[in-house]
Amino acid sequence: MNPLESILTTENKATQVLIALYCGSRFGNNPIYQETAIQLAKGIAEHGFGIVYGGASIGLMGQVADTVTEHGGEVVGVIPEFILDYEVAHKNLTELHIVTNMHARKAMMAERASAFVALPGGLGTFEEILEIATWGQLNQHQKPMMLYNVNGFYNHMIAQLDHAVQEGFLPPQHRAKLIVCDTEDEIFSAIRNLHTPKRFVI
């Protein structure tokens, strides 16, 4: 039997409020990125939340999934079928959904999540948090969105967003919806009311 078959599902088994974590499929060059990801994932589980993420077993993505699971949280993975060719799908999740493409992955993650946190990552991470911020600007959801600015990782992105405000392309009220968090405590402060989340449409 394929090891994935035992967790593949079209049903929603997770019962916890889910936080979407966008993060890298690599660990980065500085150990602080992995250390911080572990601490955040542990805190998420200890606060009674689960996560929804990209479904991989590698890099920070695999690390947060493992850590949340180890500490009793639920983990929902959403992975496009073409990525299965790289044999990186995680085999120990609460739910694993294999979808047709990246668009379907992002839509399912957005629907299942009650908040969004971007840890350090690459192009995919940047694109995911900025797209969900765009959906927020277009009033498609009102869920908290955060940049976890570990080690100043997002300083340049933050500066670019502020520059877009200054140049008149990004309304300040929409810039303010993307919350910059320098510490884990700031993240949990932003999501403290999610145990009784309102229902928002994506």
Q: What CATH number has the domain spanning 15-100+109-118+135-190? A: 3.40.50.450
Q: Are 119 and 148 in contact (CB under 8 A)?
A: yes
In this prediction the pTM is 0.91
First-residue to last-residue Cα distance in the chain: 36
Rounded Cα distance, 133 and 141, in Å: 9
Residues whose CB is less than 8 angstroms from the CB of residue 4 and which lie 6 or more positions away in sequence, other chains included: 89, 91, 96
pLDDT reading at 193 higher than 70: yes
Rounded Cα distance, 28 and 144, in Å: 26
68 or 200, greater pLDDT? 68
The 8-class DSSP code of residue 89 comes to B
Q: Are 118 and 125 in contact (CB under 8 A)?
A: yes
pLDDT at 199: 47
Grade residue 11 by pLDDT with cuts at 50, 70 and 90. Answer: confident
Rounded Cα distance, 50 and 18, in Å: 5
Residues whose CB is less than 8 angstroms from the CB of residue 18 and which lie 6 or more positions away in sequence, other chains included: 49, 50, 51, 52, 74, 76, 112, 113, 114
Q: What is the pLDDT of residues 134-179, one digit of tens each?
A: 999 999 999 999 999 999 999 999 999 999 999 999 999 999 999 9
- What tokens appear for 162 in the block? 């502020």
Rounded Cα distance, 79 and 27, in Å: 19
pLDDT at 32: 98
Closest C-alpha to 53, from 139, 112, 132, 130: 112
Q: What is the mean pLDDT of residues 178-202?
A: 77
pLDDT reading at 76 higher than 50: yes
Q: Which helix (H) or strand (E) holds 5?
A: none
